[in-house]
Chains A and B, each alone.
Chain A
Amino acid sequence: MTISRRTLLGAGAGIGAGVLGGCGSNTGRGGGSSGGTRLTQWYHQYGEAGTEQAVERYAAAYEKAHVTVQWRPGNYDQQTAAALLTDSGPDVFEVNGPSLDQIQGGQVEDLTALLDGVRDDFNPAVLAPKTYRGKVYGIPQTIDMQMLYYRKSMLRDAGVRPPRTLDELVDAAKELTRNKVKGLFLGNDGGAGVLGGTPLYAAGLRLVTDDGKAGFDDPAAARTLGKLRELYAGKTLLLGAPTDWSDPSAFLQGLTAMQWSGLWALPQVRKELGDDFGVLPFPGDGSHGKPTVPVGAYGAAVSARSKEKEAAKAYVKWLWVERTDYQEDFALGYGFHIPARISLAKKAAKLRTGAAADAVGFATEHGYAQPLLWTPAAQTAYQDALSRIIKDGASPESELRGVVRKVSAELDRVQHKS
């Protein structure tokens, strides 16, 4: 699952800022002959105060090269994708991937050797989508996840218990919908965008099977997606809120009794609601169903266009493999993420109590990451179909047939590439 963070206040504002960001002329290059190795490192804009200063502090502490950090607000994925086509892109960059096309196109360097001896310490669920044919192309930085937040008091008043199955979720949303409060918020588009493959995993299916086929060619898929339509058609979903799912405001303002959001929202929710909230995974559906949560990680990657590839790799190894103190600080010091290193996640005191501990438990037991083979073209076909099922009441069976056809063709394309 591509976990977007709340950096996109509004995509438009983001683009505006991105353009401005792109105007920055100081790429940290030039003058390479004097003063040793120079590296540029890109980050997307994290919402939490202090993160930017922290990553600059880490970079300044590196002695073997002069590292310039670029903090890039706006549509980060697009910016990196464009920059990787040119020579003026970053040497080291964090990426919500890298994508399969980036790997196959030779745009990112093989980083497998950096993990020698510690590969087992990285969470396998988030390392898998960064691995292609056994080689690792991105070092996971921190893990993000999404889950369902609910207001305990509202559920109690309505006499509803926290839903354990998708049917219970549909019923709970109905019971909880009052005059001014909606039962559930899955994003302003009714859930097609943020849920993605989550309902399929909850039905015991998957996006892509191990042998590289579409993993949801099954009647259970249509049954489960049909229930999302029920949520929408029953007018129990909050729609058109001023903020989207990634921001807990709608939940905090009492516009909805339950909201799907990210782990990053947890500190704010706890601060405002105290103990009056709980968290749940997406509930399972059907006889083979199981609860599920999407997990994902930004990874550190090295551009194949970098003029200082070896120095860039050495820096990535230093920061994201060796300096566990910085990794811990980065994950837990500012925002709220799960460290990608299992040993660090186990140590972290902040993750041992209350809802945070529940969340870590969900991520460990029920976490799934969007497979590397699930390309944007497959994602687009699936998401458009899901949107039509939810909003237009299109038949899940026929929509899914179309998606399976398109996804199979796309999987064929990427697996027959060198």
Chain B
Amino acid sequence: MRRRRAFWFWVFVGPFAAGLALFTYVPLVWSVGLSFFDAHNTVTPTDFVGLDNYRAMLRDSAFTGSLRTFLVFTAFIVPVTFALSLALALMVNRVRRAQAFFRSVFFLPAACSYVVAALIWKMSLFNGVRFGLANTVLGWFGTDPVAWLSTTRPPWYWLVIVTVRLWLQAGFYMILFLAGLQRIDPVLYEAAAVDGARPGWTVLRHITLPQLRATSVAVVLLLVINAFQAFDEFYNLLSDARGYPPYARPPLVYLYYTALGQGQNLGLGSAGAVILALIIAIVTVGQARWLGLGRSAADG
């Protein structure tokens, strides 16, 4: 009986475990190994260089610049997405009719690919000539067309980058918040009403938000991790005809170019990836500690 269970355990878990080992752990370990070698155009290098790649990466102004880009991006996208998806969830939760309709409509963009959305944003909504949608609207007020993605001062490209991601992911987080909202016991609201709390801000501040704490922590954590992984929209919105993004490169875009693009410097790229992974790990653990992820409402 016991052997049988072990057999079925491996039948179900084995393929996944093998895939995880083969496609995640082996490359991970390999990459850490590569980071100590001069690995131009090779994955089996022989030229051991110790910590040189790490030193070079940390001194590389383009890499530290990419970390700055990430910080700016996170500072924009996390609060904005959080506020918008929470607002959507509160609104959808309140509508009495066609709730399913609104829920679906706001969720639908989450099904769209980042690449496709980025190209639509780049080529039709925010292109720099007078017939782009944004510029047409500006034109009604007599304003000159703005080259949204080509202007670094002021950095209009942030508007494009943030709005595309906002559109894509707000619906998804709205669903998470909705699930959280629906778990709040109506008795609490009734009790609050009896105690004289006015519906609206007071109830939101003292009942809804505290009850959503667990959901909020998870949402913030997911948003930050997603921001770290930002690649698609940056690459597709900002790269030139040769696939080179000249500015506003988050870390993954820069490492992709160094290691896998024309650069093919796999050692340096791996060192960058290890540094990035360490940063993500530290930030995530720190954030989880600070926000109390997994702590139940009772302990919090």
* Chain A residues positioned under 8 Å from B118 (CB to CB): 12
* Chain B residues positioned under 8 Å from A190 (CB to CB): 150
> Chain B interface mostly helix, strand, loop or mixed?
loop
**Is A101 in contact with B41, judged by CB distance below 8 angstroms?**
yes
C-alpha gap A393/B151 in the complex (Å): 12
C-alpha gap A391/B247 in the complex (Å): 10
- B257 on the interface (CB 8 Å rule)? yes
**Is B264 in contact with A240, judged by CB distance below 8 angstroms?**
no
Q: How far is the CB of A415 from chain B (nearest CB, A)?
A: 14
Q: Which of A6, A188, A240, A255 contacts B240 (CB 8 A)?
A: A188
- B239 on the interface (CB 8 Å rule)? yes
C-alpha gap A75/B149 in the complex (Å): 22
Q: How far is the CB of B109 from chain A (nearest CB, A)?
A: 17
Q: Which of B245-272 contact A (CB under 8 A)?
A: 246-247, 257, 260-265
**Is B246 in contact with A240, judged by CB distance below 8 angstroms?**
no
Q: How far is the CB of A186 from chain B (nearest CB, A)?
A: 11
**Is B40 in contact with A105, judged by CB distance below 8 angstroms?**
yes
- Segment touching A, from B126-134, B161-169, B189-197: B126-134
**Is B246 in contact with A384, judged by CB distance below 8 angstroms?**
yes
**Is B236 in contact with A8, judged by CB distance below 8 angstroms?**
no
- B123 on the interface (CB 8 Å rule)? yes
Residue of B with least CB distance to A253: B129
**Is A10 in contact with B257, judged by CB distance below 8 angstroms?**
no
Residue interface bits A176-195, CB-to-B below 8 A is 1, else 0: 00001000000111101110
Q: How far is the CB of A108 from chain B (nearest CB, A)?
A: 10
Q: How far is the CB of A182 from chain B (nearest CB, A)?
A: 9
- B54 on the interface (CB 8 Å rule)? no
- A85 on the interface (CB 8 Å rule)? yes
Q: How far is the CB of B142 from chain A (nearest CB, A)?
A: 12
Q: Which of A105, A189, A240 contacts B41 (CB 8 A)?
A: A105
Q: Number of residues in A with C-beta < 8 Å to the partner?
A: 52
- A365 on the interface (CB 8 Å rule)? no
* Chain B residues positioned under 8 Å from A187 (CB to CB): 240-241
* Chain B residues positioned under 8 Å from A99 (CB to CB): 41, 262, 264
Residue interface bits A1-29, CB-to-B below 8 A is 1, else 0: 01010101011111110000000000000
- Segment touching B, from A54-62, A204-212, A241-249, A282-290: A241-249
* Chain B residues positioned under 8 Å from A102 (CB to CB): 41, 264
- Segment touching B, from A32-40, A166-174, A375-383: A375-383
C-alpha gap A205/B25 in the complex (Å): 49
* Chain A residues positioned under 8 Å from B261 (CB to CB): 77-78, 376
Q: Which of A8, A240, A384 contacts B241 (CB 8 A)?
A: A8
C-alpha gap A263/B126 in the complex (Å): 29
- A392 on the interface (CB 8 Å rule)? yes
A193 and B242 in contact, given A188-B150, A377-B265 (Cβ under 8 angstroms): yes
* Chain A residues positioned under 8 Å from B152 (CB to CB): 391-392
**Is B239 in contact with A11, judged by CB distance below 8 angstroms?**
yes
- A82 on the interface (CB 8 Å rule)? yes
Residue of B with least CB distance to A387: B246
C-alpha gap A190/B150 in the complex (Å): 7
**Is A383 in contact with B244, judged by CB distance below 8 angstroms?**
yes
**Is A380 in contact with B264, judged by CB distance below 8 angstroms?**
no
**Is A246 in contact with B246, judged by CB distance below 8 angstroms?**
no
Q: How far is the CB of B29 from chain A (nearest CB, A)?
A: 17
* Chain B residues positioned under 8 Å from A189 (CB to CB): 150, 240, 246
- A332 on the interface (CB 8 Å rule)? no
**Is B236 in contact with A12, judged by CB distance below 8 angstroms?**
yes
- B115 on the interface (CB 8 Å rule)? yes
Q: Which of B41, B129, B241, B260 contacts A244 (CB 8 A)?
A: B241
- B32 on the interface (CB 8 Å rule)? no
- A81 on the interface (CB 8 Å rule)? yes
Ordered by A's residue number, 8 sampled pairs between the chains whose C-beta atoms are within 8 Å are: A102-B264, A192-B246, A193-B240, A240-B127, A240-B147, A383-B246, A384-B62, A392-B152
- Which residues of chain A have a CB within 8 Å of any CB of chain B? 2, 4, 6, 8, 10-16, 75, 77-78, 81-82, 84-85, 99, 101-102, 104-105, 107, 180, 187-190, 192-194, 238-242, 244-246, 255, 376-377, 379-380, 383-384, 387-388, 391-393
| Known contacts A85-B42, A239-B128; 10 further A-B pairs (Cβ under 8 A) | A12-B116, A75-B243, A81-B260, A101-B41, A188-B149, A188-B150, A188-B240, A240-B147, A241-B128, A380-B62
